[in-house]
Structure 1
Amino acid sequence: MSQSYDELLDQATRRAALNHRVKVLLVESLGLEIRPELIGDDQPLFGRGLELDSLDTLEIVVMFEEHLGVTISDDDRAAFGSVNKLVDFVVASLGEIPQVEAMA
C-alpha cells in the first residue's frame, strides 16, 4: 500500500521537526556556540564536525532519555554519527516519528 501525498508530507514535516528539536537540544544541552539551524543534518558530531568529545556523548545519552524517552547503549555507537543518525535511532527505537513541540 502506498502512502498518499498528505501522509508523506506529514511524515516529512514531523521528521524535519524532530531533526530541528535534536539540534536545539544539542546546542542547549552541550552549550555549543552555534545556532541550531547551522548544524547540517549529516554533519559529523565528532572530529571535524561539531568537535564533540566523549563527555558530550554522556550528555547526549541523558538528553535523549530525558527529552525523547529513548535509551542509547554502548552497542548503539553508530547513532552518534550525525543528527540524521540520531534521529534514525529515535525513529527505530520508537517505531514511528514522534510528534515534537516546536522549539526556538
Structure 2
Amino acid sequence: MADEEDVRRICLSLPGVTERPSWNQPAWFARTLMARIWEDGVLTVKTREREALAGTSPETYFWTPHHERSPQLVLVRLSLIDGQELAELLEESYLIAGGRP
C-alpha cells in the first residue's frame, strides 16, 4: 500500500523534480507536471499504458470524464498499489514530463 509520502519521496529523488501546489493539491514537476494528488488517496500520473492498466486493474487505475482529453493521464488509487509499482509509474511519468534519465 502506497501513500502521499511515498509519492513525495520517490518524486523528489528524481533529478530536477520540484514540488509545488497545483489546484490546491501537492504536485510534482519535471519540466512539466508529472504527478499530482487528485483527491485524498488518488494520484494523477502520465503513462503510455493507460488503457492496458485500466483494463487489467480497473479498481486501481481509472479516469474521469475530465481526463478523457488527455490520453496519457490516469488516476491511481494509492491504497491498491505497492511501492515498487508506484516507483515504476512515477519514473515513466517523469520521462514523459521531460525529466532526464
Task: Give the TM-score normalised by structure 1.
Answer: 0.28
Of structures 1 and 2, the larger Rg is shown by 1
Task: Give the TM-score normalised by structure 2.
Answer: 0.29
Return the structure number with greater helix share: 1
